[in-house]
A and B are shown apart, each in its own frame.
Chain A
Amino acid sequence: MNKTLASLAMASALFSVTFSAAAEVTVTDAWVRGMVKGQTETGAYMTIKSTEPTKLVGVSSPVTKVVQLHEMKMDGDVMTMRPLKSLAVPADKPLSFGPDGYHIMLIDLKKPLAKGESVPLKLTFRSQGGKKSSVEVKAEVRALTEPSAPAPMDHAHMQH
């Protein structure tokens, strides 16, 4: 019995090692909120799914040099927005960005992004083993008035 458990544990340990090297991260439904003339910042949203626990550690885009990862959180009656250094993505559990959750902030844009444009985003992930990989997506610019998807119900249980 103990032997079986031990070998099972070992097998699963090997399994995860094998797979963390080849964790598959997919990014879907990437979009950016459209802007009006005079605006210089906007938010980008997406759903990230990974086959292994991983961490989003950086985002870049050719449209601006200043790209930040932000978290919205209620502090009493006040909604706060704070930069995050990284964002943990659990295994096999889609992480959706949205209000009172996460977004990527595109800052200091030289011209407003209009509905219908497409914004390339490069997301860099670091696996638990320390291996870096990146995913490139094209985010569709939607209307300024587009409501953000509600944050997932289990948002509170996600690791930061």
Chain B
Amino acid sequence: MRIRLIGAAALLLALLAPCAVTAEEVAPTYFGKDVSTAKIGGPLHMTDQNGRRRSFEDFRGKVVVIFFGYTRCPDVCPTTLSRMAQVMRLLGPDAERTQVLWVTVDPKRDTQALLHNFIPHFDARFLGLRGTLAQTESLAKSFHVGYQILKYQGTFLVDHSPEGYLIDPAGVTRLKLPYDMTAEQIAADVRTILGQQ
């Protein structure tokens, strides 16, 4: 809503003073939070659900949308992954230039075999990533993603940040995607970023 209002104000300004404000000078607006200058996101060294080693360099030329979670997550993670599957459908041909990555924060219990069963259920193109405890910790930290695992009566309670991050085709983390964004809003931001290349 606020973004739309800013957009409307920018448009109004452009109409009122066409000579002063040209289209190029109007900063692009996003539904997500612009974190382009925050230098978020460290290197990725993890294995996907098929056993292939992955790094961010594998996805240059594509927009990467990355989330953190765990497979026993009852609703936040399935909801996020279902929403991203919807984003891929909305993107149509642009989905080919979009890669969804989902990193487990609980590699002890989320085995590669479990990721292999779990991830393609949402979209066969998604990659589920798993690293060592140290790799998981440093990657999450580099994205300011918090998590902790607590043991409780026969189970493990996992807390984690539900938001995602959008990385542009050059490898720069551009947007933070809050949990309450809709599929339409995420798809619009992916298109905006793809359109800048």
Contacts and interface: CB of A to CB of B under 8 A. Distances in A.
Interface of A: 33, 36-43, 66, 68, 70, 72, 75-83, 98-100, 103, 105, 107-108, 144-148
A145 B155 contact: no
B58 interface: no
Give the 9 A-B residue pairs with the shortest CB-CB distance, closest first.
A43-B74, A38-B114, A36-B117, A99-B75, A148-B75, A80-B159, A41-B72, A78-B146, A107-B155
A103 B74 contact: yes
Given A81-B157, A81-B158, A98 B75 contact: yes
A78 B160 contact: yes
A39 B75 contact: no
A86 B160 CA distance: 24
Interface of B: 71-72, 74-76, 78-79, 81-83, 85, 111, 113-114, 117-118, 121-122, 144, 146-148, 152-155, 157-163, 179
22 contacts: A33-B74, A33-B75, A36-B114, A36-B118, A38-B117, A38-B118, A39-B72, A42-B74, A68-B153, A78-B159, A79-B160, A79-B162, A80-B157, A80-B159, A83-B152, A99-B76, A107-B154, A107-B155, A144-B118, A147-B79, A148-B78, A148-B79
B75 to A, nearest CB: 4
A82 B152 CA distance: 9
Given A38-B111, A75-B159, A147-B79, A70 B85 contact: no
A23 B82 CA distance: 38
A105 B111 CA distance: 21
Contacts, number: 95
A35 to B, nearest CB: 9
B121 A144 contact: yes
Contacts of A145: 78, 81-82, 85, 121-122
B182 to A, nearest CB: 11
A127 B145 CA distance: 42
Contacts of B74: 33, 41-43, 70, 72, 81, 103, 105
A81 B83 CA distance: 21
Interface of B: prevailing SS: mixed
A81 B73 CA distance: 9
A7 to B, nearest CB: 49
Contacts of B144: 77
A108 B146 CA distance: 26
Contacts of B159: 75, 78-81
B146 A77 contact: yes
A99 B153 contact: no
Given A77-B146, A80-B159, A108 B154 contact: yes
Nearest to B116: A38
A79 B161 contact: yes
A86 to B, nearest CB: 16
Contacts of B157: 80-83
A38 B109 CA distance: 10
A72 B75 contact: yes
